Structure 1
Amino acid sequence: MMDMPAHEIVERLKKPPPLCRPFVSVDEAPAECLNLMNECWNEDPSKRPSFDEIFKQFRGISRGRRANIIDSMLRMLEQYSSNLEDLIRERTDELEVERTKTDKLIGQLLPKSVAQALKKGKPVQPEDYSDCTLYFSDIVGFTTISALSEPIEVVDLLNDLYTMFDAIIATHDVYKVETIGDAYMVASGVPNRNGNRHAAEVSNMSLDILHSIGAFKIKHMPEIKVKIRIGLHSGPVVAGVVGLTMPRYCLFGDTVTTASHMESSGLPYRIHISLSTVKVLTSLKVGYHIDTRKAQVKGVEDTYWLMGRDGFNKPLPIPPDLAGGASNHGISLDEIPVERRQKFLDRQSKIKK
């Protein structure tokens, strides 16, 4: 009736003014239908009738008579609208579930504050932390264990061990920084500042980890006990995000180096702590049991062993001894199962050649 091609009608509808509306002769439809059409074209969406209202008006227009075509059309429109709403609601719920999963995963990879800033496209500035405590641990003789195992067995070992560690640290106010091979790094006081409780949180976590490692078994080599060295140190660090692809939250400073050295210079089944950590623990007056380890080098300050805490009744594994040497930093030949011993000896002879 408008005598225009469809695309031109669409363009006029998209770009008023003037408003583009069809002119329907009064002879072509009842007056009630024409009025209803005009209501549906109202420029204010809030003044347009809903599908339910349209259905009711058509019922009145037909005065109870069956109008199959109109009724069918309205039912189809009503059903389509209802189905569309249900579909949108279902897809929105699915999207919310997936978004929650993604946020949870990102929160496990990066601190929440850092993750939120990165999601908004904001730069994450490095931040100074004047007080924190760092934890490092390492598996004694991991190179030997790897040599005695298949690659998939090494992966399973680390996954089992660090899944157990992850469950323990979830009960303390600490942040897992990273794992590199068999090294496990945790911090407290970073990125959430917690006053001077950082040393206590890491110390309590270390005692729980040392207790759990005593009962840990390697699935493919239950004869070999997993022994770890633990080192703690307290001090200032700088924290920041490094990289854009697979960004990592990293800590920098002498505190990191010293904490790593406390671990590497420690002994199996021992928690090796520095003087700065001892001072913080002593100030808390919680009752930590600390023994002095005399400095190995003249002029170097003493370090200490964390032996326990008042009220901590969980059994701890017994250290092999307090002396240095290969037996404390590796696995002796006697500990290796007989069926794997020859494989280890063959590997060692190839390395020497």
Structure 2
Amino acid sequence: MEHAFANSIETSTQRLVAEKQKSDLLLSRMLPLPVLRRLRAQRAVPAEAFDAVTIFFSDIVGFTTIAANSTPMEVINMLNMLYRLFDEKIMQYNVYKVETIGDAYMVVSGLPQRNGNRHASEIADMSLALVDSLRDARVPHRPADLLKIRAGVNTGPCVAGVVGATMPRYCLFGDTINTASRMETTGEAMKIHISHTTKKALDEIGNYIVESRGKIDIPGKGSMETFWLLGKMGNVQSESPRCMRLNDYDQNLLELIIRS
């Protein structure tokens, strides 16, 4: 009886540990790993200011029309296909996916872990790769229609922190985010629209092909000179040298959870 009882306790403990690992892995998809570590250690994570990060926004061109002429299931399948493609691509770079809202996709580099001046080049390389991955792509349930995105990028300071308790989210705040969103909404199909601050950061790094769009009226910002990111001299870096791949990330995360 004692042996059976001990085996039962051991089995229950193993199941509990396995479920905890699953829940922690799910939580890691909602919060960056460094923030998750601090949250587990401190129970609270204070907001943090970052002097310079680079923000990427994208959305689907004509999404409202596509959604109006599609079933909800078709829209979900389309977004799932697109996000799975993007999620796989961005794991090759030193970036963090902040969130998706409808057809909007938001990514940042330079936080929660600072990476010097690499944030602009990481987002630039990622942006070029994402746009290139959709060349000649079709709406899954409307094969006659091309699937196109608009992309916008901006560089500047911001504040980031965990918001909420029941369902905590890692959120970004500041005008840098607003400007990045404006770059996307005022952009054009299958083009990467960047601000002057991003252009300046890329000029310091070098080897990026940028073209002035001239001055345009940006809602809420006034007249601004903006630019198109056209490409990169040589090959676009397909993988950040210091960034873990997806499988490595999951494995390292599980090892961290098991040890904690």
Counterparts of 1:16-165 in structure 2 under 5 Å? Answer: 80-119=1-40, 122-165=43-86
The residue type equivalent to 2:19 in the other structure is E
Deviations 1:223-275 (A, max 9, x none): 11111110000000011122222222111111011100111111001001111
1:207 aligned residue (115, 118, 128): 128
Separation in 1 of the partners of 2:166 and 2:72? 27
Separation in 2 of the partners of 1:83 and 1:236? 60
The residue type equivalent to 1:87 in the other structure is S
Deviations 1:65-123 (A, max 9, x none): xxxxxxxxxxxxxxx44434433333333332222221111011112233344445622
Using a 3 Å threshold, how does the CA distance of structure 1 residues 86 and 215 change in structure 2: closer, same or farther? Answer: farther
Separation in 2 of the partners of 1:144 and 1:301? 29
Q: Which has the higher strand share?
A: 2
Deviations 1:273-312 (A, max 9, x none): 1111111112123x11111111135x93421111111232
Contact kept, 8 Å, 2:54 with 2:120, in 1: the verdict is yes
Question: Structure 2, unaligned stretches of length 5 or more?
Answer: 238-260
C-alpha RMSD of matched pairs (Å): 2.1
Using a 3 Å threshold, how does the CA distance of structure 1 residues 167 and 260 change in structure 2: closer, same or farther? Answer: same
Identical columns (%): 47
Structure with larger RCO (C-alpha < 8 A, sep 6+): 2
Contact kept, 8 Å, 2:152 with 2:187, in 1: the verdict is yes
Separation in 2 of the partners of 1:243 and 1:274? 31
Question: Structure 1, unaligned stretches of length 5 or more?
Answer: 1-79, 315-353
Using a 3 Å threshold, how does the CA distance of structure 1 residues 242 and 166 change in structure 2: closer, same or farther? Answer: same
Separation in 2 of the partners of 1:161 and 1:215? 13
Name 1:265's counterpart in structure 2.
186
Separation in 2 of the partners of 1:199 and 1:257? 17
Q: Which has the higher helix share?
A: 1
Deviation at 1:313, TM superposition (A): 6.7
What TM-score, normalized by structure 1, do the two folds share? 0.62
Does 2:104 match 1:183?
yes
Contact kept, 8 Å, 2:54 with 2:198, in 1: the verdict is yes
Name 2:208's counterpart in structure 1.
288
- In structure 2, the residue corresponding to 1:88 is in which secondary structure? helix
Separation in 1 of the partners of 2:107 and 2:2? 54
Counterparts of 1:247-262 in structure 2 under 5 Å? Answer: 247-262=168-183
The residue type equivalent to 1:211 in the other structure is D
What TM-score, normalized by structure 2, do the two folds share? 0.83
Deviation at 1:154, TM superposition (A): 0.9
Counterparts of 1:238-253 in structure 2 under 5 Å? Answer: 238-253=159-174
Separation in 2 of the partners of 1:180 and 1:254? 19
Deviations 1:114-149 (A, max 9, x none): 334444562221110101000000111110001110
- In structure 2, the residue corresponding to 1:97 is in which secondary structure? helix
2:154 aligned residue (223, 233, 241): 233
Contact kept, 8 Å, 2:125 with 2:236, in 1: the verdict is no
